[in-house]
Structure 1
Amino acid sequence: MAMSAGKDDGEPMMEMNTTPLIDVMLVLLIMLIITIPAQTHAVKVDLPQNTGQNTPPPVEPQKNKITIDPQGLIYWNGSRVDQVTLRQYLDASVQISPEPELHFQPDPQARYEVVDSVLATIKRSSVTKLGFVGNEQYRNDF
């Protein structure tokens, strides 16, 4: 079996034997991997608890719809209103529990300033359930 030695057979070896060092490092690495706790990514969800009583779901809230036609006229559930009446209707709908959904559907040809003023009125009335409906009519514009 050939062994690495110095130039002459009588000289001591100048190279360090790294095999035991590598063995110790591998054992330490395996111990480190085993002792690291497994990482768990949990999402805490509060699920409803079964109370044993079959309570019916809450009644669907009323859905109100605001539309704006190309001439800039504002309609509340199909009847024409002005800005003051619209604000009164919005304030009354916010007081209802549960708050009714408000669907907003401006015509694509409606002037932006009318749509903007109606949106500002909706924001000032503190409506929290607002949805834009009929957006599919704009899909070919871009």
Structure 2
Amino acid sequence: MGMSAGGNDGGVMSEINVTPLVDVMLVLLIIFMITAPLLTHKIKVEIPNANPKTETKKANNKPIDLAIKSDGSMYWNDRAVTKAELVAKLKVSASQSPQPELQIRADKALKVGDVKAVLKDAKDAGIVHTAFISTGKK
């Protein structure tokens, strides 16, 4: 609010000084005019359209169930395997198209390092899809 420099009543003026408001609005307008062209993407990419009517055909590949007991023994689809057999079976499974999912059921008392070793073997063999199976009970 401005103060009067003279006049009859010498009180406060009731007019609003809009000059600072106009200055701020012009500065904002200039900023937006400069930054708006920078927001457009320079590289054009053809993005595929999702078609919900086409369904991907599920392969008949069953997931691989790998159970690891607390003593370190491993079971490939409920059949006992050694570490060397596991690595060989993982390589064969990795070469299948489409690749089956490796589902690991590890015993609660098993050390984390043992599970990490199995995951490393699966990764080295080329297995892409891995999952952990657990119970929903607390």
- Residue 78 of structure 2 aligns with an amino acid whose one-letter code is G
Q: Distance in 2 between matches of 1:127 and 1:113?
A: 19
| 1:59 corresponding residue in structure 2 | 58
Q: TM-score, normalised by structure 2?
A: 0.63
Contact 1:63–1:101 (Cα < 8 Å) also in 2: yes
Provide the aligned C-alpha RMSD in A.
3.5
Gaps of 5+ in 1: 6-18
Structure 2 residues not aligned, in runs of 5+: 7-14, 40-44
Shift of 1:70: 2.3
The percentage of aligned residue pairs carrying the same residue is 20
- For 1:29 and 1:135, the matched residues in 2 are separated by 61
> SS state of the match for residue 72, structure 1?
coil
- Give the TM-score taking structure 1 as reference length: 0.61
Deviation at 1:32, TM superposition (A): 4.2
Distance 1:57 1:123, change over 3 A: closer
**Partner Cα separation in structure 1 for residue 129 and residue 77 of structure 2:** 16
| 8 Å Cα contact 1:105-1:132 kept in structure 2 | yes
In structure 2, what is the equivalent of residue 25 of structure 1?
A: 20
Structure with the greater alpha carbon radius of gyration: 1
> What is the CA-CA distance between 1:100 and the residue it aligns to?
0.7
What residue is the counterpart of 2:103 in the other structure? Answer: 103
CA spacing shift, 1:30–1:69, aligned 2, 3 Å: same
